[in-house]
């Protein structure tokens, strides 16, 4: 209807868009600001004063370090497990045709579609049935269920885009299975694996629901934060940790985003 043909959106739409974005991201800035507040028992707006003392306090709290280290170890091992299993599964599904292929593909993706609470309860009852005591490894197992999906999805998309005859060409030129994997398959799926791995790491790092069902007495960082909110002491420590979590998870996701974006160009140009 606009006869001037201006590409600019109406003012109302611009304001609405800005409000939407603010609504999404303002709370995160509030968390950052509360990390510097002088009030330690409750969050008061505006903050009565600003201080950086909570960074030092956080640094000296052993429980923070314990849960941080647990979270990093769990995320690292789950990602590693997911990388191996997800890639193998993606290779099988996209490279070969066999009975039940579609079913396997669906079953692999299911854990991310299921609510975390279902996965959690299911794993918990399975562990108690099998009389497996809760440990570091039960957490890893719980996280691996959804980490595999992320890696699988990335790898399967890349496998679909890489020409199948490339592997045959490598074999034809004298490379055995291992050489073909090293010189042809791995370089072609490397960015997809990196992206999938980082996403898996980030997912595992801030996972709460599945973890509450599969962890024993140990606290991963998100669980520790949840507990900390109930306690009225040194509240801003939680906010300092939250800032760290945001940074630790945001950076890999950003890197993964840029890597897969470039990957499209690389894979697309190969034909």
Partner 1 sequence: MTSAVSFARVSRHFGSVRAVDVVDLDIAPGEFFAMLGPSGSGKTTCLRLIAGFEQPTSGSISIFGERAEGVPPYRRNVNTVFQDYALFPHLNVLDNVAYGLMVKGVGKPERQKAAEEALSLVRLPGYGARRPSQLSGGQRQRVALARALVNQPKVLLLDEPLGALDLKLRENMQEELKSLQKALGITFVFVTHDQGEALSMADRVAVFNDGKIMQIGTPEDIYQRPKTRFVADFVGSSNVLPPDFVQRYSGQHRWGSLRPESIRIGRAAKGDGVAARLVSTNYLGATTRLALDVDGLRLHAIMPAGAALPKAGEAVVLTFNRDHLHLMDEPA
**Interface residue list for partner 1 (CB under 8 A):** 163, 165-166, 168-176, 179, 183-184, 187-188, 266-267, 269-271
Are 243 and 35 in contact by the 8 Å Cβ rule? The answer is: yes
Q: Least distance (Å) from partner 1 to the CB of residue 267?
A: 7
Beta carbon nearer to partner 1, 107 or 173? 173
Are 154 and 260 in contact by the 8 Å Cβ rule? The answer is: yes
Beta carbon nearer to partner 1, 158 or 235? 158
Name the token pair of 139: 């957490």
Q: Least distance (Å) from partner 1 to the CB of residue 76?
A: 27
Q: Least distance (Å) from partner 1 to the CB of residue 258?
A: 18
Q: Least distance (Å) from partner 1 to the CB of residue 97?
A: 11
Give strand pairing partners of 50.
37
- Cα angle for residues 152, 153, 158 (degrees, 5° grid): 95
Beta carbon nearer to partner 1, 73 or 161? 161
| Residues 200, 81, 92, 104, CA torsion sign | negative
Distance, CA of 86 to chain centre: 15
Beta carbon nearer to partner 1, 45 or 98? 98
Q: Least distance (Å) from partner 1 to the CB of residue 100?
A: 16
Q: Least distance (Å) from partner 1 to the CB of residue 167?
A: 9
* 73-82: b (≥16 Cβ within 10 Å) or e: ebbebbbbbb
Angle in degrees, 0-180, between the axes of helices 236-269 and 136-161, rounded to the nearest 10: 30
Beta carbon nearer to partner 1, 18 or 169? 169
Longest alpha-carbon distance in the chain: 73
Beta carbon nearer to partner 1, 78 or 170? 170
Beta carbon nearer to partner 1, 103 or 165? 165
Name the token pair of 243: 């800032």
Are 57 and 241 in contact by the 8 Å Cβ rule? The answer is: no
Q: Least distance (Å) from partner 1 to the CB of residue 163?
A: 6
Are 68 and 248 in contact by the 8 Å Cβ rule? The answer is: no
């Amino acid at each position: 209807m606009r006869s001037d043909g201006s590409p600019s959106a109406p003012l109302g739409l611009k304001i609405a868009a800005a409000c939407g974005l603010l609504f999404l991201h303002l709370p995160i800035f509030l968390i950052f600001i509360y990390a510097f507040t002088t009030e330690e028992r409750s969050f008061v707006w505006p903050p009565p004063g600003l201080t950086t003392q909570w960074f030092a306090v956080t640094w000296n709290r052993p429980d923070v370090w314990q849960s941080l280290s647990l979270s990093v170890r769990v995320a690292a091992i789950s990602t590693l497990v997911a990388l191996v299993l997800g890639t193998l599964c993606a290779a099988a599904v996209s490279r070969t045709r066999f009975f039940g292929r579609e079913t396997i593909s669906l079953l692999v993706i299911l854990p991310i579609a299921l609510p975390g609470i279902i996965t959690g309860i299911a794993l918990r009852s399975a562990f108690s049935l099998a009389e497996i005591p809760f440990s570091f490894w039960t957490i890893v197992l719980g996280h691996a269920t959804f980490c595999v999906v992320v890696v699988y999805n990335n790898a399967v998309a890349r496998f679909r885009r890489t020409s199948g005859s490339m592997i045959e060409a490598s074999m034809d030129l004298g490379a055995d299975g291992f050489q073909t994997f090293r010189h042809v398959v791995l370089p072609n799926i490397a960015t997809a694996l990196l992206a999938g791995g980082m996403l898996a790491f980030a997912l595992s790092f801030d996972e709460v629901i599945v973890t509450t069902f599969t962890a024993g007495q140990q606290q991963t960082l998100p669980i520790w934060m949840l507990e900390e909110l109930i306690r009225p002491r040194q509240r801003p420590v939680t906010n300092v940790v939250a800032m760290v979590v945001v940074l630790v998870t945001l950076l890999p996701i950003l890197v993964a985003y840029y890597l897969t974006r470039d990957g499209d160009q690389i894979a697309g140009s190969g034909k």
